[in-house]
A and B are shown apart, each in its own frame.
Chain A
Amino acid sequence: MEKPNSWIAHVEAFVDSARATNQQAASVDAIAVLVHKDLLTLEGLVIEMEQYLTTSDHVIRARGILLLAEVLSHLLEKPLDSRTVSSLVEFFTSKLEDWQALHGALIGCLALLKRTKKFGMVESNDAKSLAESFLRNVQVQSLAVRDRKLCFEVIQRLLDVYPQAVVELGDDLVYGICEAIDEEKDPRCLMLTFSLVGTLGRLFPDPSGPLGNFSSDVFDILSRYFPIYFTHPKGDGLDITRDDLSKALMDAFSSSPLFEPFVIPLLLEKLSSSLPSAKLDSLKYLNSCVPHYGADKVVKHSQVIWSNLKDVIFNLSPHRSSLSTYGSDGDMDSEVNQIANEALNCLQTAISHLNFPDQDSFLCLIIDDEDIGTRFWSVTSMKNYSGASTEIQCQLSALGSILSIASKVSVYCCTNVFQKFFSCLMDILGVSGKHASKLCVTDHNTCSDGLNFGALYLSMELLTSCRELTLSSKEFAPEVISEPRSWFYVLKNISRELCDALGSILETPESAEHVYCAVKGLQVLATFPEIYSPVSEATYEDILVMLMSIITRRNKETYLWELSLKALVQIGLWIENAHDSAKAISYNKLVIQRIVSMLQPNDSTISLSLKLVAISEISSIDLYLLTIVQAFEEAIVSNLRACFEGNLKSSGVLVPLLQCYSNQVLPRCHTCGNFNDIAVQVAVSIWNQIEYVAVFRSAILMKDVLDQVMMTMKHLVAGCTEENQFLILQKACSSLPKTFLIAESLPCALSQLEGFQCIQDTTLMSCRDEWVFSLFGSVVIALRPQTPLVNVKILLNLFVVLLLKGNMPAAQALASMVNKWPADVNKSEVSYSLDQAIEEILKSCLWTSESSSNFIDRDSCFQKYVVLGLAWIGKGLLMRGHEKLKEIAMLLLKCLVAGKNVDITPFQQHENGSKDVGQDASSPLATFAADAFHVLLSDSEDCLNKKFHATIRPLYKQRFFSSMLPILLSSIKESDPSSKKVVLYRAFGHVISDTPLAAVVGEAKKIVPTLADALAMLSLDILNKDMIYSLLLVVSGILMDDNGKAIVLENVHTIISLLIKLISYPHLMIVRETAIQCLVAISVLPYARIYPYRPQVFRAVSTALDDRKRVVRQEAVRCRQAWASIA
Chain B
Amino acid sequence: MASGLINANPVVYERKERQVRSVPTIIDEDAEELIDQQEIFDYIRDIQDPEHPYTLEELKVVTEDSIEVNDKKSHVSVTFTPTVEHCSLATTIGLCLRVKLMRSLPSRYKVDIRVAPGTHATEAAVNKQLNDKERVAAALENPNLMYMIDRCLEPTYYY
What is A's interface to B at a CB cutoff of 8 Å?
A: 1066-1069, 1102-1103, 1105-1106, 1108-1110, 1113-1114, 1117-1118, 1120-1121, 1124
Compute how far the CA of A1103 lies from the CA of B35 in the bound complex, rounded to whole angstroms. 14
Compute how far the CA of A1109 lies from the CA of B21 in the bound complex, rounded to whole angstroms. 13
- With contacts A1105-B104, A1121-B103 taken as known, whether A1110 is within 8 angstroms of B21 at the C-beta atoms is yes
Identify which of B21, B30, B32, B106 gathers the most chain A CB atoms within 10 Å of its CB: B106
Q: Which residue of A lies closest to B108 (CB)?
A: A1106
- Whether B106 contacts A1102 by the Cβ 8 Å rule is yes
The interface residues of chain A lying within 8 Å CB-to-CB of B42 are: 1114
- Whether A1121 contacts B157 by the Cβ 8 Å rule is yes
Q: What are the 4 tightest A-B residue pairs by CB atom distance, in nearest-first order? A: A1106-B106, A1110-B33, A1117-B104, A1105-B106
Compute how far the CA of A438 lies from the CA of B29 in the bound complex, rounded to whole angstroms. 75
* A contact patch SS: helix
* B contact patch SS: loop
| B43 part of interface (Cβ distance < 8 Å) | yes
Q: How far is the CB of A421 from chain B (nearest CB, A)?
A: 45
- Whether B104 contacts A1108 by the Cβ 8 Å rule is no
Type the 1/0 row for B22-54, where 1 means its CB is closer than 8 Å to any CB of A.
000001011111010001001100000000000
Q: How far is the CB of B80 from chain A (nearest CB, A)?
A: 20
The interface residues of chain A lying within 8 Å CB-to-CB of B35 are: 1110, 1113
- Whether A1117 contacts B27 by the Cβ 8 Å rule is no
The interface residues of chain A lying within 8 Å CB-to-CB of B21 are: 1110
The interface residues of chain A lying within 8 Å CB-to-CB of B107 are: 1102, 1105-1106
- With contacts A1117-B43, A1121-B157 taken as known, whether A1108 is within 8 angstroms of B105 at the C-beta atoms is no
Q: Which residue of B lies closest to A1116 (CB)?
A: B104
Q: How far is the CB of B77 from chain A (nearest CB, A)?
A: 19
- Whether A1108 contacts B31 by the Cβ 8 Å rule is yes
The interface residues of chain A lying within 8 Å CB-to-CB of B30 are: 1108
The interface residues of chain B lying within 8 Å CB-to-CB of A1110 are: 21, 33, 35, 39
Compute how far the CA of A804 lies from the CA of B38 in the bound complex, rounded to whole angstroms. 58
Q: How far is the CB of B84 from chain A (nearest CB, A)?
A: 30
The interface residues of chain A lying within 8 Å CB-to-CB of B27 are: 1069
Compute how far the CA of A1113 lies from the CA of B39 in the bound complex, rounded to whole angstroms. 10
Compute how far the CA of A46 lies from the CA of B109 in the bound complex, rounded to whole angstroms. 96
- Whether B106 contacts A1108 by the Cβ 8 Å rule is no
The interface residues of chain B lying within 8 Å CB-to-CB of A1102 are: 106-107
Compute how far the CA of A1121 lies from the CA of B47 in the bound complex, rounded to whole angstroms. 14
Compute how far the CA of A1102 lies from the CA of B105 in the bound complex, rounded to whole angstroms. 8
The interface residues of chain B lying within 8 Å CB-to-CB of A1066 are: 29
Q: Which residue of A lies closest to B100 (CB)?
A: A1117
What is B's interface to A at a CB cutoff of 8 Å?
A: 21, 27, 29-33, 35, 39, 42-43, 103-108, 157
The interface residues of chain A lying within 8 Å CB-to-CB of B157 are: 1117-1118, 1121
Q: How far is the CB of A639 from chain B (nearest CB, A)?
A: 31
- Whether B103 contacts A1068 by the Cβ 8 Å rule is no
- Whether B103 contacts A1124 by the Cβ 8 Å rule is yes
Q: Which residue of B lies closest to A1104 (CB)?
A: B106
Compute how far the CA of A1069 lies from the CA of B42 in the bound complex, rounded to whole angstroms. 21
Compute how far the CA of A1109 lies from the CA of B43 in the bound complex, rounded to whole angstroms. 15
Q: How far is the CB of B35 from chain A (nearest CB, A)?
A: 7
Q: Which residue of B lies closest to A1067 (CB)?
A: B29
Q: How far is the CB of B106 from chain A (nearest CB, A)?
A: 3
Compute how far the CA of A1118 lies from the CA of B104 in the bound complex, rounded to whole angstroms. 9
Compute how far the CA of A862 lies from the CA of B104 in the bound complex, rounded to whole angstroms. 54
Q: Which residue of B lies closest to A1109 (CB)?
A: B33
The interface residues of chain B lying within 8 Å CB-to-CB of A1118 are: 157
Compute how far the CA of A527 lies from the CA of B35 in the bound complex, rounded to whole angstroms. 60
Q: Which residue of B lies closest to A1110 (CB)?
A: B33
- With contacts A1069-B27, A1117-B43, A1118-B157 taken as known, whether A1108 is within 8 angstroms of B103 at the C-beta atoms is no
Compute how far the CA of A1121 lies from the CA of B31 in the bound complex, rounded to whole angstroms. 27
Selected contact of B105 from candidates A1105, A1121, A1124, CB within 8 Å: A1105
- Whether A1108 contacts B32 by the Cβ 8 Å rule is yes
Q: How far is the CB of A1120 from chain B (nearest CB, A)?
A: 6
Q: Besides the contacts A1114-B42, A1117-B103, what 6 more A-B pairs have beta carbons closer than 8 Å? A: A1105-B104, A1105-B106, A1108-B32, A1120-B103, A1121-B157, A1124-B103
* 24 sample A-B contacts, Cβ–Cβ < 8 Å, listed by A number: A1068-B29, A1069-B27, A1102-B106, A1102-B107, A1103-B106, A1105-B104, A1105-B107, A1106-B106, A1106-B107, A1106-B108, A1108-B30, A1108-B31, A1108-B32, A1109-B33, A1110-B33, A1113-B39, A1114-B39, A1117-B43, A1117-B103, A1117-B157, A1118-B157, A1120-B103, A1121-B157, A1124-B103
Q: How far is the CB of B39 from chain A (nearest CB, A)?
A: 6
Compute how far the CA of A1066 lies from the CA of B32 in the bound complex, rounded to whole angstroms. 12
Compute how far the CA of A1124 lies from the CA of B102 in the bound complex, rounded to whole angstroms. 13
Compute how far the CA of A1106 lies from the CA of B31 in the bound complex, rounded to whole angstroms. 14
- Whether A1108 contacts B108 by the Cβ 8 Å rule is no
Q: Which residue of A lies closest to B153 (CB)?
A: A1121
Compute how far the CA of A1102 lies from the CA of B102 in the bound complex, rounded to whole angstroms. 10
Compute how far the CA of A1103 lies from the CA of B106 in the bound complex, rounded to whole angstroms. 7
Q: How far is the CB of B20 from chain A (nearest CB, A)?
A: 12
The interface residues of chain B lying within 8 Å CB-to-CB of A1121 are: 103, 157
The interface residues of chain A lying within 8 Å CB-to-CB of B32 are: 1108
The interface residues of chain B lying within 8 Å CB-to-CB of A1109 are: 33
Selected contact of A1108 from candidates B33, B39, B43, CB within 8 Å: B33
Q: Which residue of A lies closest to B23 (CB)?
A: A1111
The interface residues of chain A lying within 8 Å CB-to-CB of B104 are: 1105, 1113, 1117, 1120
